[in-house]
Structure 1
Amino acid sequence: MNRQSPDTLRNSLAQALDDGPFSVALRLAIQASGLSLDRLQRRLDGRGISVSRTTLSYWQSGRTQPERPESVRAVRLLEDVLDVPEGALTGLLGPPRPRGRWSAHPAAQAPRPDRTWARPEGVLRVLAQVGAAPEHLAHLLQRRRSVQERLDAHRQVRTLTMQMVVESRRPQVRRALIVHHFHMAGVRGPVIEDARGWRAGRVRSDHETGFEVHEMILDRPLAMGERAVVEYTLAYPPGHLEPHSRHRVEPGTRELSVEVTFDRAALPARCRSFFQPSIAHPKVTAEDLWIGSCTAALIVFDPEPGLHGVDWEWE
């Protein structure tokens, strides 16, 4: 559910209608209208356009997008029903997506630091320290990412284990660059333990902004399109009081899972998943997550490009 205030929701909608993507703009327009998907489907049906509730759900989640002529006509009608300017939603529809969820070689696009991090100058500085630029972050596509994060009884992050299926986007890729941002000024960053499929290389930091880059040397060079399974654990020293677990997803990622495990003596009052098309957009809360005995989990298939994560509240 979305917990933004009405003013924040209107501002988020206006920005999404300008910048996209389509799924976020549609989701925010539906939320601003106050209509459920069932009521929205009935209104469209009453105007002679048949669109299932499932299809509407897929459109607003980014799982599919309107492509056929009758679907585009439905989006034009949605603009009227949801009271957004004519052409605001249809103008965000890009070209049809390639069929099949595992396209051979998705077009490589360098991540934009200004869309992913609040202090992009820090990212540029740490990358420069290892002779890299933002486009080097796109040399390996993360087809699948599984994250396990553990907090202790003092609410501090202690370990983060990352397992990925990566695919080479260039011939003879020999290294990967992992960028992290730490919120606690003056606290030492984590160290890499239990690496598998690669080994730790250089680590460079930008103390002004809290960014750190870890260079990982692959066990073997990967040819174009070749895949490998890699894993590592970040072991944190005391003092890391992170407010959330947030992860950048690029086009071509098939699956993202984030599990956050809390100490039984310090369970949060609430956990929620969230999504941001970019760092400039406010968080859109997707759903409350069940904590169970001590773990909250977010699992997304074919995740929409942007920032996905889990945040928590203690009181």
Structure 2
Amino acid sequence: MEDRSGTVPTTFADALGEAMARRGATLTHLRDRLAERGHPVSLTALSYWRSGQREPERVASIEAIPELEAVLGLETGALSRRLSGRARRRVGAVEPFDSLLGDPAVDAVIGEEDVCRVSSHLVVDVGAQGEIVRARVRQVVVADREGVDGVTLFVGPDVGTQENAVVMTAVAGCTIEETHDLENGIRGSRLVFERPLGLGESTVTEIEATTEGGLDLETDYALAAEQRLEEALVWVRFHPDRLPSRCWVYFSEGGLRHDWPVELAGARSVNYRQTGFGPGSLGVRWEW
């Protein structure tokens, strides 16, 4: 798609604005046509998209992009391939994780569209009483734009509850600036990098999660991959005086879920690793 000057639009906002101008389409027209197709998008959101102040990011917005392309008479991907960061990788691969977040304030998810998550490791240490001593999350991210200074890390509640008593502490590579309690017990913490990143530059962050008050006796820990990761790993390490009687590993990805038993066979830990994984989740659960 080219404008009259012969230049090719490089951003989502440019491509949207040029397509609207060529079709003579107003924001109201787009809103009405999208609503007719079952994808209601507000005039405010459309205005933000056209101005470049924001890009589509919520589930409903991502799902509306193919319809928006059709309404404007564009080829498939004419808009979606110009999305930056997180949104571009999620078109056609939106997972139910987003619905758990409800409708958080914009500040609660700052940075999500600015980085590409490369790998994420969850390491869980279980104590002599079967309690969770600590859980650490180490992740590698790459900046999708110049000057990215942080990202949001989400932590969910124990299985079967909506209460989140997790306290997160920065271990290395970042500080924790603020925390937001979202819907369904999801908690998002803003991780601030040691310094802003250049475009394409990577960094590593590590945080520790502990429980506020009482023993955490949870027997199921999972890592949620919101983006497609080069590597996802869950590693549960048991105290030698408290080994489980049974263990399973499991994953959920693209509508497919599967779990299977694993034997410790003299080992004191269980790990489950996947490459080229996500969006989805993988985890380890056990019985005493």
Pairwise TM-score range, normalised by the shorter structure: 0.5 to 0.7
Deviations 1:17-66 (A, max 9, x none): xxxxxxxxxxxxxxxxxxxxxxxxxxxxxxxxxxxxxxxxxxxxxxxxxx
Task: Tell me what 1:169 maps to.
Answer: 144
Contact 1:108–1:138 under 8 Å retained in 2:
no
Contact 2:111–2:148 under 8 Å retained in 1:
no
Deviation at 1:115, TM superposition (A): 1.4
Deviation at 1:257, TM superposition (A): 2.0
Deviation at 1:252, TM superposition (A): 4.3
Contact 1:111–1:138 under 8 Å retained in 2:
no
Is 1:191 matched with 2:172? no
Paired residue secondary structure (2:90): coil
User: Sequence identity of aligned pairs in percent?
Assistant: 19
Task: Tell me what 1:302 maps to.
Answer: 276
User: Which amino acid is the alignment partner of residue 124 of structure 1?
Assistant: G
Contact 1:205–1:211 under 8 Å retained in 2:
yes
Deviations 1:176-216 (A, max 9, x none): 1111111275966233335211101111224x732211111
Ranges in structure 1 where 5+ consecutive residues have no aligned partner: 1-104
User: Which amino acid is the alignment partner of residue 259 of structure 2?
Assistant: T
Is 1:158 matched with 2:133? yes
Is 1:268 matched with 2:249? no
User: Which amino acid is the alignment partner of residue 148 of structure 1?
Assistant: V
Distance 1:157 1:260 in 2: 10
Task: Tell me what 1:234 maps to.
Answer: 209
Q: Return 183-192 or 247-256, whichever deviates more.
A: 183-192
Distance 2:92 2:219 in 1: 23
Is 1:115 matched with 2:96? yes
Equivalent residues in 2 for 1:18-33, closer than 5 Å: none
Distance 1:245 1:299 in 2: 14
Deviation at 1:167, TM superposition (A): 0.8
Task: Tell me what 1:146 maps to.
Answer: 121
Contact 2:126–2:239 under 8 Å retained in 1:
yes
Deviation at 1:138, TM superposition (A): 4.1
Contact 1:146–1:164 under 8 Å retained in 2:
yes
Distance 2:92 2:126 in 1: 29
Q: 1:217 to 1:181 in 2, by over 3 A?
A: same
User: Which amino acid is the alignment partner of residue 216 of structure 1?
Assistant: L
Q: 1:112 to 1:160 in 2, by over 3 A?
A: farther
Task: Tell me what 1:245 maps to.
Answer: 221
Q: Using CA pairs under 8 Å that are at least 6 residues apart, name the structure with larger relative contact order, 1 or 2.
A: 1
Deviations 1:206-238 (A, max 9, x none): 4x7322111111111123321112112112233
Deviation at 1:304, TM superposition (A): 4.6
Paired residue secondary structure (1:203): strand
More strand by share: 2
What CA RMSD, in Å, does the superposition of the two structures yield over aligned residues? 3.3
Residue 124 of structure 1 is aligned with which of 90, 94, 102?
Answer: 102
Distance 1:286 1:204 in 2: 35
User: Which amino acid is the alignment partner of residue 300 of structure 1?
Assistant: Q
Contact 2:111–2:150 under 8 Å retained in 1:
no
Is 1:205 matched with 2:181? yes
Distance 2:146 2:108 in 1: 17
Distance 1:170 1:296 in 2: 37
Q: 1:215 to 1:290 in 2, by over 3 A?
A: same
Deviation at 1:299, TM superposition (A): 2.1
Q: TM-score, normalised by structure 1?
A: 0.55
Contact 2:155–2:186 under 8 Å retained in 1:
yes
Task: Tell me what 2:285 maps to.
Answer: 311
Contact 1:271–1:310 under 8 Å retained in 2:
yes
Aligned residues: 202
Is 1:290 matched with 2:264? yes
Task: Tell me what 2:193 maps to.
Answer: 218
Ranges in structure 2 where 5+ consecutive residues have no aligned partner: 1-84
Q: 1:109 to 1:223 in 2, by over 3 A?
A: farther
User: Which amino acid is the alignment partner of residue 117 of structure 2?
Assistant: Q
Paired residue secondary structure (2:259): strand
Contact 2:246–2:261 under 8 Å retained in 1:
no
